[in-house]
Amino acid sequence: MKYEWKKQERKLYLPKQIPEVITVPKQKFFMLKGTGNPNSDAFAERIGVLYSLAYAVRMMPKQGYTPEGYFEYTVYPLEGLWDLTDEGKKSGTLNKDELLYTIMIRQPDFVTTDVVDKAFEIVRKKKPNPLLDAVMFDTVEDGLSVQMLHLGSYDNEPQSFKMMNDFIANNNLENKSCKHREIYLSDARKVETVKLKTVLRYMVRPIV
């Protein structure tokens, strides 16, 4: 039976359209850092590199290599950690050219450094790209967080962030940093803007 994150991990990936507290465990990711406008070709190319690695892991048994503990699963969605440059933080309006990001795709727990090395080997042969040298594999733990589902345009996210910040302030919590996580449940190339589904998440801590 295929492992499907939408079903088995609903609390993490399918929140309601109101803020809620959640504790996010340690997770393994392929990650790639970048700067600038996410509507650029450079951003799209980074996404392509990450998915090449993610699908290399997913399809390994068809390449004649089955990692220990491997199971059938649906590839996890694209995620992004977002921040602004110092210059961007000074501005009263969002300048997307001043964005700092780490885009990432989660990997199942069976993925080890040996599996990662194999994935890189496969992709370098099939889809060589200089950006592969910049991809990192690491474990991330968001821990205590506040998240909600945002429906619609990415440009309307400030409305949801206000709801989240109000919720945080009213529940004796504070943001750990200015960074936030976005999890893209929809493919913006195929889904109408008004129907885009994005999980928004702040990492928080209790106010002592």
Instruction: Output the domain CATH number for residue 105.
Output: 3.20.80.10
pLDDT at 88 over 90: no
Q: Tell whether 4 is covered by a domain.
A: no
Q: Tell whether 85 is covered by a domain.
A: yes
A 10 A CB-CB count for 107 gives 24
Q: Tell whether 3 is covered by a domain.
A: no
| Residue reference for tokens 């780490």 | 102
Summarised one tens digit per residue, pLDDT across range 95-135 is 888 999 999 999 999 999 999 999 999 999 999 999 999 99
Query: What letter would DSSP give residue 118?
Result: H
pLDDT at 2 over 80: yes
- Print the domain residue range for 48: 9-206
139: which strand partners?
28
Number of domains in the chain: 1
Q: Tell whether 160 is covered by a domain.
A: yes
The 3-class secondary structure across 21-83, one letter per residue, is: EEEEEEEEEEEEEEECCCCCHHHHHHHHHHHHHHHHHHCHHHHCCCCCCCCCECCCCEEEEEE
Determine phi and psi for 181, rounding to 5 degrees: -105, 140
Q: Which of 3, 8, 22, 1 is nearest to 149 (CA)?
A: 22
Indicate the pTM of the whole model: 0.95
Mean pLDDT of the chain: 95
Q: Which of 129, 137, 139 is nearest to 49 (CA)?
A: 129
